[in-house]
C-alpha cells in the first residue's frame, strides 16, 4: 500500500482490529503553545455538503451502510480515536522518529508524524480480533490507570500541556493550584521557555487569567482606584487578553486607596503574607514597595500591584523602579476619569487614552509592533 501511494506525505497506513472501525481525527501539534488539537476529519462522502451538521449526519449514515456491506472508503487522518488498530510504516521512517517505540503507540506515533507533516491513511480493511475472556473489574481499572499514566508521561516528555478534544473540551497536563508553576526564575525579563522558542504554557496563562480576574474584582469591590499597567494593558488593547509570552500581570493603583482593600491593608499592617478564602496569596514584594498576589502558595504565578501617587504638577510616580524601559512617570490626566478595556473575559479599568498611554511608555507603534520583553536577549 505504501509503495502504491502517490502522496509522499502518507507515511503510515492503519487498519481496524475487530468490528469497531476507528474514527478518523485531524491532529495539530503546536509546540510553541504547548498544545495539541484534535478535530473530526471530513468523511470522503461528505465533501459535497457545506454544512457541518449535514457532514456529520452523512458520515454516520455512510458508516452504518459500510458496516452492513463490510466496505469502507479510505481516509486520510491525523490520528485515530483509540479503537484497536494496526499501524504499518516503513522501518526507516519509524526509526527516524526521536521516540519510535514510546507507548502508547497510537498516541506517540501520530504526534511525532504530525510534526513532520506525515499523514495516516485509514484503510477499509480490518484484521480479526482474537477472542479472549473479558477482563475483571480490577484488571480493567488497572489497565485504564496504566494507560492514563503512560499517556500523561508521554505528553510530559513531548512538552504538551493541553489537549483540545474534538468536542471542544480541554484536558490539562500542566500546573494547577497545588503544583509549582511550569518555569523557574525569570532572568533579564526572559523566562526559560522563550529561550527554547516557546510561549507561556497554557496552564500558566489560565492561572494568570484566574488571578487577574480575582484581583480586579477585589479591588473594584473595595473601591480602590486601579488600572491595567504595562504589558498587561498592551495585551488588553491588542487582543483583550494576556500577551501570549507574558509571565505576570501588572496593575497600577492609588497608594492612598491601599487601606480600602482588606487583604492589602492586612499585608501592609503586618508585613506578612495573607491567604484569602479562595486560596490566593497576597504579600508585599521583596523587590520593593509594591504588592504581589499569587495564584496559590504552591503556584507563584502572580499579579503585581503598583502603588502610585501624584506629585506636582499632576504627575503619577511611585517609590520602586525596576529599570524596565516602560517604567516611567505619566500625567495623572490619563486616570481622570478612568476608562475601561476588555481583559481576560472581564471589563477592566484602564487609562482613558490607552494608545497615548502605551506610546508614552513603549514608544510609537507599540500596539502594532509586538516584541519580547527584552529583545536584546531574545527577539520575536
- Looking at residues 289-303, what average pLDDT do you find? 98
Maximum mean pLDDT: which of 53-57, 74-78, 228-232: 228-232
Q: What pLDDT does 65 receive?
A: 39
Q: What is the chain's length?
A: 380
pLDDT at 284 over 90: yes
pLDDT of residue 132: 84
Domains and CATH numbers, the chain: 10-42+73-172 (no CATH), 192-368 (3.30.460)
- Distance linking the first and last C-alpha atoms of the chain: 43
Average pLDDT over residues 321-329: 91
Mean pLDDT of 279-291: 97
d(CA 65, CA 83): 20
Encode pLDDT of 240-252 as tens digits.
999 999 999 999 9
Residues forming beta bridges with residue 43, ordered by sequence position: none
- Rounded to the nearest 5°, which phi and psi values hold at 275? -100, 125
Residues 213-222 as b or e (16 or more Cβ within 10 Å = b): bbbbebbeeb
CB of 164 closer than 8 Å to CB of 35: yes
The predicted pLDDT at position 55 comes to 44
Which pLDDT band, with edges at 50, 70 and 90, does 231 fall under?
Answer: very high
Distance CA 376, CA 339 (A): 33
Tens digits of per-residue pLDDT, 172-183?
A: 999 999 999 999
CB atoms within 10 A of CB 81: 16
pLDDT for residue 62: 43
Mean pLDDT of 339-350: 98
Cα 74 from chain centroid (whole Å): 34
Residue 185: predicted pLDDT: 93
Whole-number average pLDDT of the chain? 90
pLDDT, tens digit, for every residue of 3-39?
666 666 889 999 999 988 999 999 999 999 999 999 9
Half-sphere exposure of 203 (CA within 13 A, CB side): 21
| pLDDT over 70 at 87, yes or no | yes
Does position 61 have pLDDT exceeding 50, yes or no?
A: no
Per the structure block, which three cell numbers stand in for 298?
Answer: 504552591
The sign of the dihedral angle between the CA atoms of 190, 192, 197, 202 is negative
Q: What is the pTM of this model?
A: 0.88
3-state secondary structure the chain: CCCCCCCCCEEEEEEEECCCCCCEEEEEEECCCCEEEEEECCCHHHCCCCCHHHHHHHHHHHHHHHHHHCCCCCEEECEECCCCEEEEECHHHHCCCCCCCCCCHHHHHHHHHHHCCCEEEEEEEEECCCCCCCCCHHHHHHHHHHHHHHHHHHHHHHCCCEEECCCCCEEECCCCCCCCCCCCCCECCECHHHHCCCCCCHHHHHHHHHHHHHHHHHHHHHCCCEEECHHHHHHHHHHCCCCCCCCCEEEEEEHHHHHHCHHHHHHHHHCCCEECCCCCEEEECCCCCCEEEECCCCCCCEEEEEEEEEECCCEEECCCCCCCCCCCCEEHHHHCCCEEEEECCEEEEECCCHHHHHHHHHCCCCCCCCCCCCCCCCCC
In which band, very low, low, confident or very high, does the pLDDT at 131 lie, cut at 50, 70 and 90?
Answer: confident
137-158 vs 105-115: helix crossing angle, rounded to 10 = 20
Q: Mean pLDDT, to the nearest integer, of 49-68?
A: 44
Q: Give pLDDT, residue 53.
A: 44
Q: What is the pLDDT of residue 45?
A: 52
Across residues 233-261, what is the average pLDDT?
98
pLDDT of 114 over the 90 cut: yes
Q: Which of 207, 254, 264, 271 is nearest to 349 (CA)?
A: 254
What integer pLDDT is reported at residue 69 of this predicted model? 38
- For residue 47, is pLDDT > 80? no
Amino acid at each position: 500500500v505504501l509503495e502504491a501511494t502517490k502522496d509522499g506525505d502518507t507515511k503510515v497506513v492503519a487498519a481496524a482490529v475487530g468490528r469497531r472501525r476507528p474514527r478518523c481525527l485531524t491532529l495539530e501539534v503546536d509546540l510553541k503553545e504547548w498544545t495539541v488539537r484534535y478535530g473530526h476529519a471530513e468523511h470522503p462522502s461528505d465533501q459535497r455538503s457545506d454544512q457541518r451538521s449535514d457532514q456529520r449526519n452523512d458520515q454516520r449514515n455512510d458508516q452504518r451502510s459500510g458496516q452492513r456491506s463490510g466496505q469502507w472508503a479510505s481516509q486520510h487522518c491525523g490520528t485515530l480515536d483509540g479503537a484497536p488498530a494496526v499501524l504499518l510504516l516503513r522501518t526507516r521512517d519509524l526509526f527516524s522518529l526521536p521516540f519510535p517505540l514510546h507507548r502508547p503507540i497510537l498516541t506517540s506515533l501520530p504526534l511525532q508524524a504530525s510534526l513532520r507533516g506525515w499523514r495516516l491513511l485509514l484503510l477499509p480493511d480490518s484484521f480479526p480480533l482474537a477472542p479472549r475472556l473479558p477482563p475483571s473489574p480490577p484488571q480493567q481499572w488497572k489497565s485504564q490507570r496504566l494507560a492514563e499514566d503512560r499517556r500523561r508521561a508521554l505528553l510530559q516528555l513531548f512538552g504538551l500541556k493541553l489537549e483540545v478534544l474534538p468536542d471542544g473540551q480541554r484536558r490539562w497536563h500542566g500546573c494547577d493550584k497545588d503544583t509549582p508553576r511550569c518555569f523557574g526564575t525569570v532572568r533579564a525579563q526572559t523566562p526559560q521557555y522563550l529561550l527554547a522558542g516557546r510561549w507561556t504554557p497554557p496552564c500558566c496563562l489560565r492561572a494568570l487569567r484566574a488571578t487577574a480576574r480575582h484581583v480586579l474584582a477585589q479591588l473594584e469591590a473595595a473601591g480602590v482606584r486601579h488600572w491595567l499597567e504595562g504589558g498587561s494593558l498592551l495585551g488588553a488593547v491588542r487582543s483583550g487578553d494576556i500577551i501570549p509570552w507574558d509571565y505576570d500581570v501588572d496593575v497600577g493603583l492609588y497608594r492612598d486607596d491601599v487601606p480600602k482593600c482588606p487583604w492589602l491593608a492586612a499585608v501592609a499592617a503586618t508585613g506578612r503574607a495573607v491567604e484569602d478564602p479562595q486560596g490566593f496569596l497576597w504579600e508585599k514584594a521583596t523587590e520593593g514597595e509594591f504588592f504581589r498576589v499569587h495564584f496559590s502558595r504552591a503556584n507563584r504565578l502572580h499579579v503585581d500591584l503598583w502603588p502610585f501617587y501624584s506629585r506636582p504638577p499632576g504627575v503619577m510616580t511611585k517609590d520602586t523602579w525596576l529599570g524596565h524601559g516602560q517604567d516611567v512617570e505619566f500625567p495623572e490626566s490619563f486616570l481622570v476619569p478612568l476608562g475601561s478595556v476588555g481583559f481576560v473575559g472581564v471589563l477592566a479599568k484602564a487609562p482613558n487614552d490607552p494608545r497615548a498611554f502605551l506610546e508614552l511608555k513603549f514608544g510609537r507603534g507599540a500596539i502594532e509592533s509586538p516584541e519580547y520583553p527584552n529583545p536584546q536577549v531574545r527577539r520575536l
